Chain A
Amino acid sequence: MDAVGTIKQMKKAIRPEPANWLDEHGDYLYRFAMFRVRQESVAEDLVQETLLAALQVYQKFEGRGSERTWLCGILKHKIIDHYRKTSRTAQIDPETEARLENEDLFRPEGGKWADHWRADFGPVEWQGSPENLLEQSEFRVVLEKCIAFLPERIANAFTLREVEGFTSEEICEVLSVSANNLWVMLHRARKQLRRCIETDWFRLSK
């Protein structure tokens, strides 16, 4: 076979096959979305939107990089659009927010060592390395459950920061909040998540 023929065949081989996208990448994209939006119906819709959008532009995809990375890139944009939309509509749930703020992690005012950690709620020693923990499916279940337990807008801010590594400015733009507002949200997310992981994993596995 001549060189041109080989190249043609190679091109054919790396050309995306829309018919196979769902089988080959569907669950991957779904898991990717689930970790970020935490609701099945939303994740399913995002996968559908991603594949439909990909269908419209796939002639432009020249096989640079993998098909999966390319689809994932489209999905990431769809997820950020979703955050943008929900930041406008998501109600701030005063009850949950108050619970987050007033948790009695610290000793009561007026007493000895007021506003210092309560002995029974103070952080305990965490055993194991991140890599080691992530290999355990039970830990991942606890982690995802604890993130899902956060109020939605706080979980979204936290995900943009820690999963996607966005800067504060970028997150403020997506969620339309001030920098101060964002820091309070991140502080609450970390405080609650830390406590949830400690209670449901580290204190139990001791």
Chain B
Amino acid sequence: MGLTQIGVSILAALLVGAMTRGAVRTYLLLFLSVLAIYWFQPALPFRSFDFWIPSISLFFVILTWFITSQAGAWKLRQNLIGLFIIVVTVLLVDLTRYIFPDPFLTTTTTPRLIIVLGFFVITAIVISVFTFLSRHIELTISLVILALIAILVVLKSPDLSLQTSIFLRTLNNRPTDTASTFDLRWLGFSYIAFRLIHVLRDRQLGRLPELNLPEFATYVVFFPSLSAGPIDRAERFASDLRKEFSFSQDETLLAGQRIVLGLFKKFVVADALALIALNDLLATQVRATGWMWIVLYAYAFQIYFDFSGYTDIALGMARLAGIQLPENFAAPYTRPNLTQFWNSWHMTLTQWIRAYFFNPFNRWMRGFKNLPAWIMILVGQLATMLLIGLWHGITWNFILWGAWHGLGLFLQNRWSDFAKTRVTASTPHMQSALRLGGILLTFHFVAVGWVFFALSEPALSWHVIMRLFGLA
């Protein structure tokens, strides 16, 4: 999101908080969020794809709601209103092609109305088929989860992205030699997919409370948290929507402080640090060990201030509209061990992974009675962190980054076990020294891990690590 989009979003959130109450607030938030997914979608090299990509996101939102809600729930008034808002908003976005001479909201001209109507018909047919299949709810949910994961895999894998881009260019009679892995930028899909999978899994496990369509759709595509999270839980989000919200000066001031803090973190600190942060080019150009550490520190703080800045902006914006999104960061670089670091870095992703992968995976492993505990811990930590790595991108470097943290968590777990009875700090000074040592060690472990995250190739990362330790 650029500054203009942030500015307009803040005003929109302020308007919603100040002017609307109850269900109207939900309807207005839904309308604005649907508009936002079209407006925020980056330009794509294919005509009208910046319209189709958000439309497919909405398709998944509606499909998931139909699958996970009670049979016939769509006939309820509020759900029909929600459906009406989504359809009308999509139509409004599409009709801009007939009103404005240049694309408005989208970056390329939207498709012809007849094609969009055709899309609605196809959506209705697919939903009907899935509703019919809902007698086999396990199968239906699994199919949708698989589809979401398949899209994630294509988007996150450079090779598959490139091949898909070449395929789409061929279909569109476009030159294929300029195809790039960046051709398929799908705004917020990682977050949308994780929110949908959470809802689908909770439905499978029978622990999903009933949500109406406006609440559900607003939850998935809520405009403040669309591009950079956090990943809220649906029932918590819906409870905020249902709560009576009184717009007050105090609340506005607190939200404003959070937004200003976020803007400062992102656009002053992070963007300045980005100029000197480690990247592929600097990795080959930096001449000395000391400077390599400095550009690595710059990267470590840049990624923190960038991400946590966006989170602050999202939290502040949401608060203006009466939604208390969950925190995503809690001073992660001041944590004395890696477990605590991961409990305070991108917390909502960690919680998601813990709930939907780590815990079920560990339960499954406990079925192997003869497996030693340390192997279970190692495999559990490694698999979890590899998954987090792959969520960022299916490349060797993200795999190495995941493995680095997985091994780190395992070693820290073993050390904690070992040190519990053997290493004790007898004085407060000793305790402080141990804590400070832990903080420094954890920060540097995380910072060295960023080498894999920041760079594109394992060989380049290895070169940087060698240089960091004076070996190159």
Same complex for A and B? Answer: no
